């Protein structure tokens, strides 16, 4: 384990523990979760070649479409059916978590793992556009329930969260390259700090639940880790002949999702289990980085 990995895990677990024990420390950051995610994206965009995002070759487009189909349809359906037989009370929670779009934090995670950033960002954009159609259909067909994800609001959120940091990077590259270099030199520390603040904002909301329902929390955490292993494993399995950066990009695109979106709307439609599972997925979000890096190194 490298020093940076140890620092990352210490800050991540420390911020989670602090938010649970002293939730008042996180309430200040709760309204700014989206803003902090935008800042993470800005830092992830600092070194990316944006021309790679407009790759229109047949192989690139086919690969993107196939991975999006796995992310939004195939994987959530398979996991829902398996959960219906093994742990039916968590079937809908697993469906929601598995079927939601690739997370806006995915480029940051991809950067830590030295994955190819361009495919990950393309998956963030494509799946965010498609999920308002795909996820409600899956939930209605499989679980017999109806949810509404407002398309216009999702598009506005996508444009705000993804494109504003991208445009800001492009502007600063032309107008203030020296400033960009200074920020890039501190990218790791800034990103890790933002992750810690996001954890404070998220987990401070669940402080009371941790003490009231510890058993439920442990079960949800165990399921979250099993799902994370499946997501990463599927990404690797789908790209056997690609380079390690491309295999990691596929794995991250499947394993890092917008669980905050699930937290937002699941409570209003499906009760506490999907919300709890989505919140506990924050743990494998970061702790899986070390074993995934070790696996990639061995491969």
The neighbour count for residue 257, using CB atoms within 10 Å, is: 29
User: Of 228, 207, 213, nearest to 283 (Cα)?
Assistant: 228
Identify the band that residue 196 occupies on the pLDDT scale cut at 50, 70 and 90.
Answer: confident
Q: Is the pTM of this model over 0.85?
A: no
Residue 229: the pLDDT is 95
Identify the band that residue 74 occupies on the pLDDT scale cut at 50, 70 and 90.
Answer: very high
DSSP sequence for 128-173: HHHHHHHHHHHIIIII-------HHHHHHHHIIIIIHHHHHHHHHH
Residue 294: the pLDDT is 80
The whole-chain average pLDDT of the chain stands at 83
Residue 4: the pLDDT is 73
Tens digits of residue pLDDT in 207-229: 777 777 778 888 999 999 999 99
- Round to whole Å and give the CA distance between 72 and 195: 26
Tens digits of residue pLDDT in 231-245: 999 999 998 888 899
Per-domain residue ranges of the chain: 3-298
Tell me if the domain spanning 3-298 has CATH number 1.20.1530.20.
yes
Is 216 exposed, middle or buried (CB count within 10 Å of its CB: 0-12, 13-18, 19+)?
Answer: middle
Q: What are phi and psi of 257, to 5 degrees?
A: -120, 175
* pLDDT surpasses 80 at 52: no
């Amino acid at each position: 384990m490298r020093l940076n990995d140890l620092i990352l895990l210490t800050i991540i677990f420390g911020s989670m523990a602090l938010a649970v024990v002293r939730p008042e420390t996180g309430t200040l950051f709760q309204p700014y979760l989206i803003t902090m995610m935008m800042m993470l994206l800005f830092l992830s965009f600092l070194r990316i070649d944006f021309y790679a995002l407009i790759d229109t070759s047949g192989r690139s487009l086919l690969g993107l479409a196939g991975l999006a189909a796995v992310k939004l349809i195939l994987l959530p359906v398979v996991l829902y059916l398996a959960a219906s037989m093994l742990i039916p009370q968590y079937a809908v929670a697993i469906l929601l978590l598995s079927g939601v779009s690739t997370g806006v934090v995915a480029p940051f995670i991809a950067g830590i793992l030295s994955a190819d950033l361009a495919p990950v960002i393309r998956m963030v954009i494509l799946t965010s556009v498609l999920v308002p159609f795909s996820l409600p259909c899956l939930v209605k067909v499989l679980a017999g329930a109806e949810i509404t994800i407002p398309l216009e609001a999702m598009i506005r959120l996508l444009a705000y969260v993804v494109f504003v940091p991208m445009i800001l990077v492009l502007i600063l590259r032309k107008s203030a390259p020296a400033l960009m270099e200074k920020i890039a030199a501190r990218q790791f520390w800034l990103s890790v700090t933002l992750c810690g603040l996001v954890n404070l904002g998220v987990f401070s909301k669940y402080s009371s639940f941790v003490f009231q329902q510890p058993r439920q929390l442990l079960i949800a955490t165990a399921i979250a880790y099993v799902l994370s292993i499946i997501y990463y494993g599927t990404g690797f399995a789908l790209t056997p002949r690609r380079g390690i950066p491309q295999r990691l990009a596929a794995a991250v695109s499947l394993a890092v999702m917008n669980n905050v979106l699930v937290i937002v709307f699941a409570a209003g439609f499906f009760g506490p289990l999907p919300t709890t599972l989505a919140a506990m997925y924050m743990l494998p979000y970061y702790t899986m980085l070390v074993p995934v890096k070790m696996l990639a190194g061995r491969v």
